[in-house]
A and B are shown apart, each in its own frame.
Chain A
């Protein structure tokens, strides 16, 4: 029964990892930006939520109403300025700039907030409660909620990309930037919108993580960015639902590892990631070769 419980937990946590991963996948798919600062941005989202709740006394589950738009604006501005400038140069420059952003954000948080841990939603019955299926099988409301949010976000993204005007523009630019430009699309603006969406999803991920676990300024680089990339790589690049599959595989691997011994939780996840890299580098949901 403990194993069944672990697998169910793992699947549900996969939703959280998918929230981290889908923005990363979107930014790579559209702009070819590998955002090494992605984890730190999730942590920034978490800290903004802490601040918003302290100031407005909003319930924690509604804090996203302010955090997500703020992060989306930040994403648009960052893309139109620093990231676009890096993209105009080379992939190496983009990597270095996002790595620089990661270090600056992490140490900025350490400097201006503090190194201590924070968490969201302590005392909220939805955040901390769970229901029993049997004596050994409990499912936390929070994990179900996060998984549900992840599915809704992925459905929304799929609908947006395939159905809406901006979604079509994003796909056009991702497929062939020059041709899209010739058709009168300002690709920089489209990039900005894609970054805004990616930042919005990572903000949701940051809030969800803050409710699920404690976070500190170093959480972004120590874990979140690695989980996000692992989920993207395991699932397969460029596939939205692949990030959910990747997240689930990562989550289940971690929970099974934790069953073996508590210290094996992270290790098991990374070993599955490396195994996928070796055996199937294009990811479980393949979308062509990767260069």
Chain B
């Protein structure tokens, strides 16, 4: 029986690792090639992709359907504003604000940790609104109207836009790499076990609560980083904008359309989001209407999203976090392959 072989992916993925590096390198030279309109759009894409990766981790892997992630978007943005008021450069403030969001996620988790599914969803929503109302009580942070970042770097708009773009790219790459490495490791196995059978996982000694808390805190950091990036790119922080439930709508729809429970899904979903937003940008609210309708149709008709549809034909993993079992026959024929454990197949 020594002929069994287990690999991370059905196909050899050495080239996808190299491919990822090349893609990042290509994205990194964008500021030399494209105008500010394109760069702004890309930064928006970075924000949504970071948010979507985090929401995917929450809903797709940990079973936590949060409708309140805008709490962390807002806290990240206000973190940058607060530090910038105290004359810290805004790009330095960004990582500190993100870490602060992770810290803030701990007490917030304590409030909602006992709730499941719909209750969790609505409690996080109320929590986000409550955080906004508390922030609005500080006149030094602009109360209910918000304020501009007071200490912006004196760089000229082209350099500033390029810097913002590179920071955005770094945040996104870091977010995707974190999610990938987490899911490849022990946490990935724990979350898969919880997703498949929570009671069985618990009785096998899996610490369900602490795994979920870890995911919530990481998602807090990620969404905080996206919010900080938002503040840095807009140079203004307004409570109703940064704490808008629309952020959760965008991240959730990007995940659902791309394919929930896969790392590739949010990337595809964000691309769809950007295309829709650009195509319909002159029709006001239409892009959210279409995005919502597409998301509803996708969850009802193609549960695994666009990436799931592609996966059925390609059996491709850009970010292999599961395992394939090669039986001796399959190794011999390389055609019929049994799937042992794959994140998207569950």
Contacts and interface: CB of A to CB of B under 8 A. Distances in A.
Given A86-B299, A290-B119, 20 more contacts: A34-B118, A89-B299, A95-B117, A95-B118, A101-B292, A103-B253, A103-B291, A104-B296, A107-B289, A107-B292, A108-B285, A110-B284, A111-B289, A225-B125, A226-B125, A230-B126, A233-B122, A263-B133, A266-B133, A277-B123
Contact of A111 (B245, B252, B286): B286
28 contacts: A34-B122, A36-B121, A82-B296, A89-B299, A91-B118, A92-B59, A96-B252, A96-B296, A96-B299, A99-B249, A100-B293, A103-B246, A104-B288, A104-B289, A107-B286, A108-B289, A110-B285, A226-B122, A226-B126, A230-B126, A266-B129, A267-B133, A267-B134, A274-B126, A277-B115, A278-B111, A290-B119, A291-B116
Secondary structure at the B interface, as helix, strand, loop or mixed, is: helix
A20 interface: no
Interface of A: 28, 34, 36, 82, 85-86, 89, 91-93, 95-97, 99-101, 103-104, 107-108, 110-111, 221-222, 225-226, 229-230, 233, 263, 266-267, 270-271, 273-274, 277-278, 281, 290-291
B2 to A, nearest CB: 40
Nearest to A86: B300
Contacts of A104: 288-289, 292-293, 296
A178 B146 CA distance: 54
Contact of A34 (B121, B293, B299): B121
Contacts of A82: 296, 300
Interface string B104-134: 0000000110111111011101110110011
Contacts of A290: 115, 119
A251 to B, nearest CB: 16
A230 B252 CA distance: 23
A277 B114 CA distance: 9
A54 B141 CA distance: 44
Interface of B: 59, 63, 65, 67, 111-112, 114-119, 121-123, 125-127, 129-130, 133-134, 136-137, 144, 245-246, 249, 252-253, 256, 283-286, 288-289, 291-293, 295-296, 299-300, 303
